[in-house]
Amino acid sequence: MVDKIYRTFVDATQNVFNLMLNISDISDHPAENFNCDSEIDIAIGVIGDLQGEVVYRFPASTSINMVKLMSGMQFDEVDAFVTSAISEIANIISGNVLTALSGSDLTCDILPPVQTKIDEQKEYDIKTSCCISTTIGAICLEIRLNKAA
C-alpha cells in the first residue's frame, strides 16, 4: 500500500513536470534528509478513504525556476505570486493522484492548498517521503495518510 501510494505520487509529479514545464529528465529517491536553505511548504489535506495530508516542500530556487519556466518572465524572490502558482501545482498533482487512485477503489477528495510547517511528530499508517530531482531543482513530498476506519 505504501509503495503504491508512493509510486502514484511520483508518477503524477513527473507527469505534471513533463506536461507543464516540458521537463522529462526526472528521477526520484526516498528522501531521508531533504535540506535546503529556504523552502515553502504547501499542504494538501486529504479526506475520504484516506485521511491526512501531503506536504509539498518546494525549495525557493526550484519554485522560482518553475514560475520562470511557466511565465517566461523574470522572478527574483518567492512572493505571493510564486507561492500561489506552486500551490496550484501541488493542487494539480494531488488531483491527478486521486484520479489515479479512484481506479483502484480508493475514493478521496482534497482540500485547498495551505502554506504550512511540517509536524514531524505525528504517526500515520502511511508515512513516507520522496525526493524528486529535476534539471531545475528538487522537490520533496511528505505523504502522511491514515486509512479511514
81 touches other proteins (CB under 8 A): yes
Neighbours of 30 (CB within 10 A): 9
Q: Which one, 30 or 72, has the nearer CB to other proteins? A: 72
Piece of the chain touching other proteins by CB under 8 A; list 16-24, 48-56, 116-124, 140-148: 16-24
Assess 82 for contact with other proteins (CB under 8 A): yes
Q: Which residues are within 8 A (CB) of 45 and not within 5 positions of it... i.e. 6 or more apart?
A: 52, 53, 110, 111, 114
Using the rule CB under 8 A, which residue among 80, 120, 121, 123 binds other proteins? 80
Residue pair 113/43 in contact by the 8 Å Cβ criterion: yes
Q: How many CB atoms lie within 10 A of CB 133?
A: 15
Among 13, 87, 129, 134, binds other proteins (CB under 8 A): 87
Which three-class secondary structure state does DSSP give residue 27?
Answer: strand
Residues that bind other proteins (CB under 8 A): 16, 19-20, 22, 67, 70-73, 79-89, 92
